[in-house]
Protein backbone atom coordinates (compact mmCIF):
# COMPACT_ATOMS: atom_id res chain seq x y z
CA UNK A 1 0.00 0.00 0.00
CA UNK A 2 1.28 3.48 -0.78
CA UNK A 3 1.28 5.31 2.56
CA UNK A 4 2.28 8.72 1.21
CA UNK A 5 -0.78 10.97 1.27
CA UNK A 6 -2.90 8.48 3.25
CA UNK A 7 -5.03 9.70 6.15
CA UNK A 8 -4.50 7.30 9.02
CA UNK A 9 -6.43 7.12 12.26
CA UNK A 10 -4.35 5.57 15.04
CA UNK A 11 -6.26 4.01 17.95
CA UNK A 12 -4.30 3.52 21.16
CA UNK A 13 -5.53 1.33 24.03
CA UNK A 14 -4.42 0.53 27.58
CA UNK A 15 -1.26 -1.52 27.14
CA UNK A 16 2.26 -1.12 28.41
CA UNK A 17 3.20 -0.89 24.70
CA UNK A 18 1.21 2.37 24.30
CA UNK A 19 4.45 4.41 24.28
CA UNK A 20 5.48 2.60 21.09
CA UNK A 21 2.46 4.11 19.34
CA UNK A 22 4.31 7.48 19.45
CA UNK A 23 7.11 5.97 17.36
CA UNK A 24 4.59 4.37 15.02
CA UNK A 25 2.95 7.75 14.51
CA UNK A 26 6.31 9.32 13.61
CA UNK A 27 7.19 6.51 11.20
CA UNK A 28 3.84 6.82 9.44
CA UNK A 29 4.41 10.55 9.10
CA UNK A 30 7.87 9.86 7.65
CA UNK A 31 6.15 7.76 4.97
CA UNK A 32 4.12 10.85 4.07
CA UNK A 33 0.88 9.88 5.85
CA UNK A 34 -1.25 12.26 7.89
CA UNK A 35 -2.10 10.77 11.28
CA UNK A 36 -4.77 11.53 13.88
CA UNK A 37 -5.23 9.72 17.20
CA UNK A 38 -8.07 8.27 19.25
CA UNK A 39 -7.33 6.95 22.77
CA UNK A 40 -9.19 4.80 25.25
CA UNK A 41 -9.32 6.10 28.81
CA UNK A 42 -6.91 3.37 29.93
CA UNK A 43 -4.43 4.41 27.20
CA UNK A 44 -4.33 7.97 28.58
CA UNK A 45 -2.98 6.54 31.85
CA UNK A 46 0.04 5.13 29.98
CA UNK A 47 0.81 8.08 27.68
CA UNK A 48 -0.64 11.60 27.94
CA UNK A 49 -2.85 12.65 25.01
CA UNK A 50 -0.68 15.77 24.82
CA UNK A 51 2.20 13.66 23.44
CA UNK A 52 0.04 12.40 20.57
CA UNK A 53 -1.56 15.82 20.04
CA UNK A 54 1.90 17.41 19.74
CA UNK A 55 3.21 14.74 17.37
CA UNK A 56 0.10 14.63 15.19
CA UNK A 57 -0.45 18.40 15.40
CA UNK A 58 -4.13 17.71 16.02
CA UNK A 59 -6.16 17.35 19.23
CA UNK A 60 -6.69 13.74 20.28
CA UNK A 61 -10.13 12.13 20.48
CA UNK A 62 -10.49 10.94 24.07
CA UNK A 63 -13.44 10.18 26.35
CA UNK A 64 -13.61 13.94 26.96
CA UNK A 65 -14.78 14.47 23.46
CA UNK A 66 -14.12 15.36 19.92
CA UNK A 67 -11.19 17.61 19.08
CA UNK A 68 -13.29 19.49 16.58
CA UNK A 69 -15.99 20.08 19.19
CA UNK A 70 -18.71 18.60 17.00
CA UNK A 71 -21.39 16.34 18.44
CA UNK A 72 -20.65 13.38 16.11
CA UNK A 73 -17.41 12.54 17.86
CA UNK A 74 -17.35 8.86 16.95
CA UNK A 75 -17.98 9.47 13.25
CA UNK A 76 -15.76 12.42 12.34
CA UNK A 77 -12.36 10.78 12.66
CA UNK A 78 -13.24 7.44 10.98
CA UNK A 79 -14.91 9.30 8.12
CA UNK A 80 -11.82 11.45 7.65
CA UNK A 81 -9.47 8.42 7.66
CA UNK A 82 -8.53 6.12 4.76
CA UNK A 83 -7.57 3.40 7.23
CA UNK A 84 -7.66 2.72 10.95
CA UNK A 85 -4.82 1.11 12.89
CA UNK A 86 -5.30 0.08 16.50
CA UNK A 87 -1.82 -0.29 17.95
CA UNK A 88 -1.45 -1.48 20.61
CA UNK A 89 -4.79 -3.31 20.85
CA UNK A 90 -5.57 -4.59 24.36
CA UNK A 91 -7.41 -7.85 25.07
CA UNK A 92 -10.31 -5.69 26.15
CA UNK A 93 -10.39 -3.71 22.88
CA UNK A 94 -10.13 -6.88 20.78
CA UNK A 95 -13.09 -8.30 22.71
CA UNK A 96 -15.11 -5.19 22.00
CA UNK A 97 -14.31 -5.13 18.26
CA UNK A 98 -15.19 -8.82 17.87
CA UNK A 99 -18.48 -8.49 19.70
CA UNK A 100 -19.83 -5.18 18.50
CA UNK A 101 -19.32 -3.25 21.73
CA UNK A 102 -18.58 0.44 21.36
CA UNK A 103 -18.27 2.34 24.60
CA UNK A 104 -15.00 4.28 24.22
CA UNK A 105 -13.31 6.31 21.45
CA UNK A 106 -11.22 3.41 20.07
CA UNK A 107 -14.05 0.87 19.84
CA UNK A 108 -16.51 3.52 18.63
CA UNK A 109 -14.13 4.40 15.79
CA UNK A 110 -13.73 0.70 14.96
CA UNK A 111 -17.48 0.26 14.66
CA UNK A 112 -18.12 3.39 12.60
CA UNK A 113 -15.11 3.07 10.29
CA UNK A 114 -15.96 1.88 6.79
CA UNK A 115 -12.33 1.51 5.57
CA UNK A 116 -9.69 -1.12 6.21
CA UNK A 117 -8.84 -1.76 9.86
CA UNK A 118 -5.53 -3.07 11.23
CA UNK A 119 -5.18 -4.48 14.73
CA UNK A 120 -1.83 -5.02 16.50
CA UNK A 121 -2.46 -7.05 19.67
CA UNK A 122 -0.21 -6.50 22.68
CA UNK A 123 -0.59 -8.44 25.88
CA UNK A 124 0.83 -10.98 28.26
CA UNK A 125 1.14 -14.50 26.80
CA UNK A 126 -1.44 -16.07 29.13
CA UNK A 127 -3.96 -13.39 28.19
CA UNK A 128 -3.15 -13.78 24.51
CA UNK A 129 -3.55 -17.57 24.61
CA UNK A 130 -6.78 -17.45 26.63
CA UNK A 131 -9.75 -19.04 24.90
CA UNK A 132 -11.59 -15.74 24.93
CA UNK A 133 -8.86 -13.70 23.18
CA UNK A 134 -8.17 -16.49 20.67
CA UNK A 135 -11.87 -16.75 19.83
CA UNK A 136 -12.14 -12.98 19.44
CA UNK A 137 -9.07 -12.87 17.16
CA UNK A 138 -10.56 -15.68 15.05
CA UNK A 139 -13.75 -13.66 14.72
CA UNK A 140 -11.79 -10.56 13.66
CA UNK A 141 -9.77 -12.58 11.12
CA UNK A 142 -13.05 -13.60 9.51
CA UNK A 143 -13.98 -9.94 8.90
CA UNK A 144 -13.00 -8.89 5.37
CA UNK A 145 -12.10 -5.36 6.47
CA UNK A 146 -9.94 -6.32 9.47
CA UNK A 147 -6.29 -7.44 9.40
CA UNK A 148 -4.38 -8.70 12.41
CA UNK A 149 -0.75 -7.60 12.77
CA UNK A 150 0.84 -10.42 14.76
CA UNK A 151 4.34 -10.37 16.08
CA UNK A 152 6.43 -13.54 16.33
CA UNK A 153 6.77 -14.83 19.91
CA UNK A 154 9.45 -13.07 21.95
CA UNK A 155 10.23 -11.35 25.22
CA UNK A 156 7.35 -9.35 26.65
CA UNK A 157 7.44 -6.23 28.82
CA UNK A 158 6.48 -8.41 31.83
CA UNK A 159 9.66 -10.46 31.30
CA UNK A 160 7.91 -13.60 30.02
CA UNK A 161 8.63 -15.20 26.65
CA UNK A 162 5.87 -16.14 24.25
CA UNK A 163 3.23 -14.84 21.85
CA UNK A 164 1.31 -11.63 22.49
CA UNK A 165 4.23 -9.28 21.93
CA UNK A 166 3.46 -6.01 20.16
CA UNK A 167 4.75 -5.89 16.60
CA UNK A 168 7.58 -3.35 16.38
CA UNK A 169 6.46 -0.02 14.83
CA UNK A 170 8.87 -0.38 11.89
CA UNK A 171 7.47 -3.87 11.22
CA UNK A 172 3.92 -2.51 11.28
CA UNK A 173 4.89 0.11 8.70
CA UNK A 174 6.47 -2.60 6.54
CA UNK A 175 3.39 -4.83 6.81
CA UNK A 176 1.26 -1.92 5.61
CA UNK A 177 3.65 -1.10 2.76
CA UNK A 178 3.69 -4.71 1.53
CA UNK A 179 -0.09 -5.01 1.65
CA UNK A 180 -1.91 -4.62 -1.70
CA UNK A 181 -5.46 -3.35 -1.42
CA UNK A 182 -7.93 -4.26 -4.16
CA UNK A 183 -7.46 -0.87 -5.81
CA UNK A 184 -3.71 -1.41 -6.21
CA UNK A 185 -3.72 -5.17 -6.86
CA UNK A 186 -4.20 -4.88 -10.62
CA UNK A 187 -1.01 -2.83 -10.98
CA UNK A 188 1.34 -5.78 -10.42
CA UNK A 189 4.12 -5.62 -7.89
CA UNK A 190 7.81 -6.25 -8.32
CA UNK A 191 10.48 -6.75 -5.70
CA UNK A 192 13.95 -5.82 -6.92
CA UNK A 193 17.03 -6.60 -4.87
CA UNK A 194 19.72 -4.02 -5.39
CA UNK A 195 23.21 -2.88 -4.50
CA UNK A 196 25.81 -4.94 -2.69
CA UNK A 197 25.81 -6.61 0.70
CA UNK A 198 28.26 -6.13 3.54
CA UNK A 199 29.42 -9.10 5.62
CA UNK A 200 30.85 -8.00 8.94
CA UNK A 201 34.34 -9.14 9.98
CA UNK A 202 34.46 -7.00 13.12
CA UNK A 203 32.65 -3.79 14.20
CA UNK A 204 34.50 -1.68 11.61
CA UNK A 205 35.40 -4.02 8.74
CA UNK A 206 33.40 -5.98 6.24
CA UNK A 207 33.60 -7.99 3.02
CA UNK A 208 31.76 -6.49 0.06
CA UNK A 209 32.01 -5.98 -3.71
CA UNK A 210 32.00 -3.26 -6.36
CA UNK A 211 28.32 -3.27 -7.33
CA UNK A 212 26.98 0.30 -7.71
CA UNK A 213 23.24 -0.38 -7.85
CA UNK A 214 22.90 1.36 -11.27
CA UNK A 215 21.30 -1.59 -13.04
CA UNK A 216 18.71 -2.04 -10.28
CA UNK A 217 17.84 1.66 -10.41
CA UNK A 218 17.37 1.42 -14.20
CA UNK A 219 15.10 -1.58 -13.60
CA UNK A 220 13.10 0.23 -10.91
CA UNK A 221 12.53 3.20 -13.23
CA UNK A 222 11.43 0.96 -16.08
CA UNK A 223 9.04 -1.08 -13.90
CA UNK A 224 7.59 2.18 -12.50
CA UNK A 225 7.03 3.42 -16.07
CA UNK A 226 5.22 0.17 -16.87
CA UNK A 227 2.83 0.81 -13.94
CA UNK A 228 4.25 -1.63 -11.39
CA UNK A 229 4.47 -1.01 -7.65
CA UNK A 230 8.18 -1.36 -7.00
CA UNK A 231 9.74 -2.64 -3.78
CA UNK A 232 13.45 -2.12 -3.48
CA UNK A 233 15.28 -4.36 -1.00
CA UNK A 234 18.76 -2.94 -1.21
CA UNK A 235 22.15 -3.05 0.40
CA UNK A 236 24.59 -0.13 0.18
CA UNK A 237 24.61 1.56 -3.26
CA UNK A 238 26.48 4.42 -4.96
CA UNK A 239 23.29 5.80 -6.47
CA UNK A 240 20.08 7.12 -4.95
CA UNK A 241 16.96 4.99 -4.50
CA UNK A 242 14.54 6.30 -7.16
CA UNK A 243 11.56 8.35 -6.06
CA UNK A 244 8.31 6.40 -5.88
CA UNK A 245 9.68 3.00 -4.87
CA UNK A 246 9.11 1.33 -1.50
CA UNK A 247 12.52 1.43 0.03
CA UNK A 248 13.66 -1.42 2.31
CA UNK A 249 17.34 -0.96 3.22
CA UNK A 250 19.40 -3.93 4.47
CA UNK A 251 23.09 -4.57 5.12
CA UNK A 252 24.02 -8.25 5.10
CA UNK A 253 23.03 -11.11 2.80
CA UNK A 254 21.13 -12.70 5.67
CA UNK A 255 19.06 -9.48 6.15
CA UNK A 256 18.34 -9.43 2.43
CA UNK A 257 17.41 -13.11 2.45
CA UNK A 258 14.95 -12.60 5.34
CA UNK A 259 13.33 -9.56 3.74
CA UNK A 260 12.95 -11.11 0.31
CA UNK A 261 11.62 -14.44 1.50
CA UNK A 262 9.11 -12.86 3.88
CA UNK A 263 7.74 -10.49 1.21
CA UNK A 264 7.89 -12.86 -1.76
CA UNK A 265 4.36 -14.26 -1.54
CA UNK A 266 2.89 -10.76 -2.02
CA UNK A 267 4.85 -10.07 -5.23
CA UNK A 268 4.08 -10.81 -8.88
CA UNK A 269 7.68 -10.47 -10.01
CA UNK A 270 11.01 -10.83 -8.20
CA UNK A 271 14.21 -9.58 -9.79
CA UNK A 272 17.37 -10.69 -8.00
CA UNK A 273 19.71 -7.96 -9.16
CA UNK A 274 21.75 -7.38 -5.97
CA UNK A 275 25.37 -8.47 -5.82
CA UNK A 276 24.98 -10.72 -2.80
CA UNK A 277 28.09 -12.01 -1.06
CA UNK A 278 28.32 -15.79 -1.50
CA UNK A 279 30.37 -16.13 1.71
CA UNK A 280 30.47 -14.44 5.09
CA UNK A 281 32.98 -14.64 7.97
CA UNK A 282 32.13 -17.63 10.14
CA UNK A 283 32.95 -15.71 13.31
CA UNK A 284 32.33 -11.98 13.64
CA UNK A 285 34.71 -10.44 16.16
CA UNK A 286 32.90 -8.29 18.73
CA UNK A 287 35.93 -6.04 19.03
CA UNK A 288 38.17 -4.57 16.34
CA UNK A 289 40.74 -7.16 15.26
CA UNK A 290 44.19 -5.89 16.28
CA UNK A 291 47.09 -5.58 13.88
CA UNK A 292 49.49 -8.28 15.11
CA UNK A 293 51.65 -8.12 11.95
CA UNK A 294 51.14 -11.85 11.68
CA UNK A 295 49.16 -13.70 9.06
CA UNK A 296 45.41 -13.41 9.56
CA UNK A 297 43.19 -16.22 8.28
CA UNK A 298 39.47 -15.51 7.88
CA UNK A 299 37.25 -18.57 7.86
CA UNK A 300 34.23 -18.09 5.60
CA UNK A 301 30.93 -19.93 5.45
CA UNK A 302 28.34 -19.83 2.65
CA UNK A 303 25.46 -17.37 2.88
CA UNK A 304 21.94 -18.68 2.24
CA UNK A 305 21.24 -18.74 -1.49
CA UNK A 306 18.51 -16.13 -2.00
CA UNK A 307 17.80 -16.91 -5.66
CA UNK A 308 17.58 -20.68 -5.11
CA UNK A 309 15.28 -20.40 -2.08
CA UNK A 310 13.17 -17.73 -3.74
CA UNK A 311 12.64 -20.10 -6.71
CA UNK A 312 11.75 -22.91 -4.25
CA UNK A 313 9.03 -20.67 -2.80
CA UNK A 314 7.80 -19.47 -6.17
CA UNK A 315 4.02 -19.06 -6.34
CA UNK A 316 1.95 -19.89 -9.42
CA UNK A 317 1.99 -17.00 -11.92
CA UNK A 318 5.03 -15.44 -10.30
CA UNK A 319 7.99 -14.51 -12.50
CA UNK A 320 11.53 -14.73 -11.17
CA UNK A 321 14.54 -13.10 -12.81
CA UNK A 322 18.06 -13.94 -11.67
CA UNK A 323 21.30 -12.16 -12.46
CA UNK A 324 24.57 -13.93 -13.17
CA UNK A 325 27.94 -12.29 -13.48
CA UNK A 326 30.64 -14.42 -15.03
CA UNK A 327 34.23 -13.64 -15.92
CA UNK A 328 35.16 -16.79 -17.86
CA UNK A 329 33.37 -19.18 -20.19
CA UNK A 330 30.49 -16.75 -19.70
CA UNK A 331 27.76 -18.35 -21.82
CA UNK A 332 28.37 -21.89 -20.57
CA UNK A 333 28.39 -20.79 -16.91
CA UNK A 334 25.31 -18.64 -17.50
CA UNK A 335 23.39 -21.54 -18.99
CA UNK A 336 24.34 -23.73 -16.04
CA UNK A 337 23.28 -21.05 -13.57
CA UNK A 338 19.89 -20.62 -15.23
CA UNK A 339 19.12 -24.34 -15.17
CA UNK A 340 20.46 -24.81 -11.61
CA UNK A 341 18.50 -21.88 -10.21
CA UNK A 342 15.21 -22.67 -11.95
CA UNK A 343 14.56 -18.95 -12.56
CA UNK A 344 12.40 -17.92 -15.53
CA UNK A 345 15.09 -15.56 -16.87
CA UNK A 346 18.75 -14.98 -16.17
CA UNK A 347 20.44 -11.71 -17.05
CA UNK A 348 23.97 -12.75 -17.84
CA UNK A 349 26.65 -10.09 -17.74
CA UNK A 350 30.40 -9.76 -17.54
CA UNK A 351 32.60 -6.99 -16.13
CA UNK A 352 35.74 -7.91 -18.08
CA UNK A 353 35.50 -5.13 -20.68
CA UNK A 354 37.09 -1.67 -20.30
CA UNK A 355 34.60 1.13 -19.56
CA UNK A 356 31.71 -1.26 -18.90
CA UNK A 357 30.12 -3.06 -15.97
CA UNK A 358 30.44 -1.90 -12.36
CA UNK A 359 29.66 1.80 -11.98
CA UNK A 360 29.38 2.36 -15.76
CA UNK A 361 26.21 2.98 -17.73
CA UNK A 362 26.92 0.22 -20.23
CA UNK A 363 27.42 -3.48 -19.79
CA UNK A 364 27.78 -6.52 -22.06
CA UNK A 365 24.74 -8.68 -21.35
CA UNK A 366 22.33 -11.30 -22.67
CA UNK A 367 18.99 -12.40 -21.26
CA UNK A 368 18.69 -16.18 -21.06
CA UNK A 369 15.26 -17.79 -20.98
CA UNK A 370 14.39 -21.30 -19.83
CA UNK A 371 14.26 -23.67 -22.80
CA UNK A 372 15.69 -21.17 -25.34
CA UNK A 373 19.18 -21.02 -26.93
CA UNK A 374 21.75 -18.82 -25.19
CA UNK A 375 22.15 -15.50 -27.07
CA UNK A 376 25.42 -13.62 -27.63
CA UNK A 377 26.34 -10.99 -25.05
CA UNK A 378 25.99 -7.50 -26.55
CA UNK A 379 27.37 -4.25 -25.15
CA UNK A 380 24.33 -2.04 -24.42
CA UNK A 381 23.14 0.47 -21.85
CA UNK A 382 21.70 -0.50 -18.47
CA UNK A 383 18.51 1.38 -19.45
CA UNK A 384 18.18 -0.92 -22.49
CA UNK A 385 18.79 -3.95 -20.28
CA UNK A 386 15.97 -2.77 -18.00
CA UNK A 387 13.63 -2.21 -20.97
CA UNK A 388 14.28 -5.74 -22.23
CA UNK A 389 13.69 -7.30 -18.80
CA UNK A 390 10.39 -5.44 -18.31
CA UNK A 391 9.22 -6.41 -21.82
CA UNK A 392 10.02 -10.10 -21.30
CA UNK A 393 8.49 -10.21 -17.81
CA UNK A 394 5.34 -8.39 -18.91
CA UNK A 395 4.92 -10.72 -21.92
CA UNK A 396 5.26 -13.76 -19.65
CA UNK A 397 2.69 -12.36 -17.21
CA UNK A 398 0.28 -11.54 -20.05
CA UNK A 399 0.59 -15.15 -21.24
CA UNK A 400 -0.48 -16.33 -17.74
CA UNK A 401 -3.67 -14.31 -17.97
CA UNK A 402 -4.39 -14.85 -21.70
C1 LIG B 1 0.61 -1.75 34.03
C2 LIG B 1 -0.48 -2.36 33.17
C3 LIG B 1 -0.16 -2.88 31.96
C4 LIG B 1 -1.14 -3.46 31.14
N5 LIG B 1 -0.80 -3.95 29.93
C6 LIG B 1 -1.74 -4.53 29.17
C7 LIG B 1 -1.39 -5.06 27.89
O8 LIG B 1 -0.24 -5.00 27.45
N9 LIG B 1 -2.36 -5.63 27.17
C10 LIG B 1 -3.66 -5.70 27.60
O11 LIG B 1 -4.50 -6.25 26.88
N12 LIG B 1 -4.02 -5.20 28.79
C13 LIG B 1 -3.10 -4.61 29.58
N14 LIG B 1 -3.46 -4.08 30.78
C15 LIG B 1 -4.87 -4.10 31.19
C16 LIG B 1 -5.67 -3.04 30.44
O17 LIG B 1 -5.09 -1.76 30.63
C18 LIG B 1 -7.12 -3.05 30.91
O19 LIG B 1 -7.73 -4.26 30.48
C20 LIG B 1 -7.93 -1.87 30.39
O21 LIG B 1 -9.24 -1.95 30.90
C22 LIG B 1 -7.95 -1.85 28.88
O23 LIG B 1 -8.82 -0.83 28.47
P24 LIG B 1 -8.94 -0.37 26.96
O25 LIG B 1 -9.09 -1.58 26.14
O26 LIG B 1 -10.19 0.48 26.95
O27 LIG B 1 -7.77 0.43 26.63
C28 LIG B 1 -2.50 -3.50 31.60
C29 LIG B 1 -2.80 -2.94 32.84
C30 LIG B 1 -1.82 -2.37 33.62
C31 LIG B 1 -2.21 -1.77 34.94
- Segments making up each domain of the chain, as ranges: 7-178, 182-401
- The segments of the chain whose pLDDT lies below 50 read none
Backbone angles phi, psi at 369, to 5 degrees: -125, 140
The answer to whether residue 158 is catalytic is yes
Q: Distance, CA 95 to ligand 1 centroid (Å)?
A: 12
Q: pTM score, two decimals?
A: 0.58
Q: State how beta strands 362-369 and 146-148 pair.
A: unpaired
- Tell me how far apart the alpha carbons of residues 197 and 213 are, in angstroms, rounded to a whole number: 11
pLDDT at residue 309 in the model: 95
Nearest Cα residue to 331 out of 385, 373, 285: 373
pLDDT at residue 231 in the model: 92
Count of other CB atoms within 10 angstroms of residue 30: 10
Residue nearest to atom 2 of ligand 1 (CA): 16
pLDDT at residue 181 in the model: 65
Q: What fold characterizes domain 7-178? A: Rossmann fold (3.40.50)
pLDDT at residue 353 in the model: 65
Q: Which atom of ligand 1 is nearest to the CA of 94?
A: 25
Q: Is the CB of 198 under 6 A from ligand 1?
A: no
Annotated binding site for CTP: 278, 288, 323, 337
pLDDT at residue 178 in the model: 73
> How large is the C-alpha radius of gyration of the chain?
25
Angle at 212 between CA 211 and CA 216, to 5 degrees: 95
Tell me, letter by letter, the H, E, C secondary structure of 162-221: ECCCCCCHHHHHHHHHHCCCHHHHCCCEEEEEECECCEECCCCCEECCCCCCHHHHHHHH
182-401 has which CATH code?
3.40.50.10300
Query: Catalytic pick from 22, 58, 109, 158?
Result: 158
Residue nearest to atom 18 of ligand 1 (CA): 14
- Tell me how far apart the alpha carbons of residues 393 and 387 are, in angstroms, rounded to a whole number: 10
pLDDT at residue 90 in the model: 98
Identical fold, 7-178 and 182-401: yes
Residue nearest to atom 4 of ligand 1 (CA): 15
Annotated binding site: 278, 288, 323, 337
Amino acid sequence: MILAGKKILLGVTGSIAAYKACELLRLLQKEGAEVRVAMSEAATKFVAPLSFASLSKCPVYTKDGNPEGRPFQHIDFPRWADLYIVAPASADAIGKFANGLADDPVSLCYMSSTGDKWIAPAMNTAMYLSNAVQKNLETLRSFADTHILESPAGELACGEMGPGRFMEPAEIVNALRFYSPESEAKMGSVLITAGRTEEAIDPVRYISNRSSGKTAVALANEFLKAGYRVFFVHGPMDVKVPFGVFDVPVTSSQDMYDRVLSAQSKMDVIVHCAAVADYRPKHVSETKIKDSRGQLVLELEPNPNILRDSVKNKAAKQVIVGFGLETDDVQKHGEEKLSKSGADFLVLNTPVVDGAGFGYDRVPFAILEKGKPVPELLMRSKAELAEDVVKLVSAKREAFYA
